Structure 1
């Protein structure tokens, strides 16, 4: 029996987001135990009271797990859970990662070297050209390009990356509900040279409140996010802020000051995003050779190394970490870095195989 099917049940329970599911997993240990837990046991979990536990019990009775599994297999969709070893490495490091990712195409270890390109749906011809060329150049260098399949900049980024490499499209709907519908052929091409993914159950419509969750995944899959064009208030700026909170890099393309589509990107540059005029501006911040070296070590499961080149910031944080688990907030109090900076440094130390992250946002030396 495929015990992974219990994960499909969890994400179909009403009112259970990633945070509550994480609390349940921390308490019960696995999805099957949650699914079979009594109301009394459920009530012992943080944020699960009497009313919510009653809803869980009631919803469980209505969900046919075997039917859901059969439906997924019938439409040719694969899925991966937080318990699986090949769950995307960078995405697993964000706060409250999605418990289940549905996908078509193939996820690859090389997707650890990913950059997201996002921007306005109502983009200019200039923005469309920049997104396409930039994605093509980065894909040619070995980066997987991540975007949201939306009209405008996202579509141009996917199209550009397909010329020379891989791309991942993240949906704000179920993976069987392509939006916008005119990108149906593009999705077919992406499945051949990358992956189309979604954190939503099959059949989920592209409601507006789904897109912030989609944006978290876009930035979470990526070492950095590049904003090509964005209005004063846009989902692309939300993605950029999420990237910062996740300890990832943020880049922005400068734009025509007379265009509304440039207000967001120019503001990002004013507040510290890295201005991009050529691909070298990105490679300077994220040198591909260094990341490829790290990936090579990760793929070999990173044998313990007592001598490894660390930046001064990495060395400072590494010196603070002990063999016994330490909470993120306590580490933050012991260093002179912002939360996003510390997140970024911890991620690099983890990729280099020097530390491991435990449940509850705790860290310890890898032994």
Structure 2
């Protein structure tokens, strides 16, 4: 079971400060964690943002979310029953909290206890076959009966079949937009039933945020991150479900794939996953036997690197590191080796560049200049 004990309860003031920080320009989850770790609290980090962005070459400081805007978002969330939770607060999915890019504040609606139970993600094609829909439903129901919570993305096709089959046991929908901007709109009724039946919905996006294409891969990392493993039922060779499977592997999650006919392009992605080493899955016991040994292991939050950020890198070091970067992603470890300076200096420069809006972080420890 996922039994990590919550040890945090934010004060109202700290929740507002953290919301201001994550809603400020160029502050993503990894940057948030680093800032919070090194400056001690969100308010101190907010005070340092303009100086760090200036060091990174920003012509002018990025927008810092105002206290008024943060309070308005918090109030709007509360009006529709959404709690904004920090990692290690009760109701925040324990396995999701272990990621280095876990949402600093997660919008949670529904039954918090279902989010603390072991989850299996079930994803697949939006344009699913009848056989795929039936299998997704059977598999999800069997896993639910075995005590697992099914987590998916509330999308058409396989996702909705997985949710519907596991409603009685509790299921979790991960949203790409705000809690009041459900996509697709026709699944608002499904979400309502899911919530009324002891399930939950989570999102890292603010109230009112309409999901865009780039929001779905971000959403997918939450689906896999909250789960012990990800089951892909049907997926074409280029699909969001394969992105979820790739992210799951990067996160150290188990990846399961359901084989399909080589004549059906909707099975091409899952068959390829099996070739790459995913666990071939034809029934729930294939998944249960693989994840049971994992469930008893303790969960620990991953701490950012314990290096000081308040020592300003030298001009020559900053220039050398920036020159080594370009549009092609490079591994952080390679960048440190090529720059010939301490990891602390490299991380400080990268943070400055990111807050200036000049750096993009990729999966697997890769970074590039924008």
- Global fold match (TM > 0.5): yes
Partner of 1:358: 303
- Of the three residues 236, 244, 252, the one matched with 1:239 is 244
Q: TM-score when scaled to structure 2?
A: 0.74
Query: Which residue of structure 2 aligns with residue 342 of structure 1?
Result: none
Q: Which residue of 1 aligns with 2:329?
A: none
Name the SS for the 1:169 alignment partner. Answer: strand
- Between the aligned partners of 1:291 and 1:62, the Cα distance in structure 2 is 42
SS of 1:208's equivalent in the other structure is coil
Shift of 1:263: 0.3
Query: Would the aligned equivalents of 1:113 and 1:291 in 2 still touch at CA under 8 Å?
Result: no
2:105 corresponding residue in structure 1 = 100
C-alpha distance 103-206 of structure 1, shift in aligned 2 (>3 A): same
Between the aligned partners of 2:59 and 2:87, the Cα distance in structure 1 is 23
Distance between the aligned counterparts of 2:60 and 2:188, measured in 1? 40
Runs of 4+ in 1 over 4 A off after TM superposition: none
Which string of whole-angstrom CA distances, capped at 9 and with x for unpartnered residues, describes residues 76-114 of structure 1?
A: 211101363553210111231111110210222664411
Q: Cα distance 1:209–1:285, how it changes in 2: closer, same or farther (>3 A)?
A: same
CA distance in 2, matches of 1:86, 1:30: 22
- Indicate the RMSD between aligned Cα atoms, in angstroms: 2.4
Match of 1:5 among 3, 13, 16: 16
* Structure 2, unaligned runs of 5 or more: 1-10, 308-370
TM-score (norm 1): 0.74
SS in 2 for 1:54: coil
Could you tell which deviates more after superposition, 263-272 or 185-194?
Answer: 185-194
Q: Report if aligned partners of 2:98, 2:301 keep a CA contact under 8 Å in 1.
A: no
CA offsets, 1:280-321, max 9 Å, x none? 21122123xx566x3xxxxxxxxxxxxxxxxxxxxxxxxxxx
Mapped contact 1:9–1:63 kept (Cα < 8 A):
no
CA contact (8 A) 1:111 1:144 kept: no
Cα gap change, 1:266 to 1:178, in 2 (>3 Å):
same
- Give the unaligned 5+ runs of structure 1: 295-347, 363-367
| Number of residue pairs aligned between Structure 1 and Structure 2 | 295
> Secondary structure, in 3 states, of the residue corresponding to 2:255?
strand
C-alpha spacing 1:205/1:38, structure 2 compared with 1 (3 Å): closer
Counterpart of 2:65 in structure 1 is: 60
**1:42-191 map, 5 Å:** 42=52, 49=56, 51=58, 54-56=61-63, 59-61=64-66, 63-82=68-87, 84=89, 86-108=91-113, 111-162=116-167, 164-191=168-195
**Structure 1's 73 and 110: CA in aligned 2 closer, same or farther, altered over 3 A?**
closer
Give the Cα separation in 1 of the matches to 2:49 and 2:115.
42
3-state DSSP of counterpart to 1:51: coil
SS in 2 for 1:200: coil
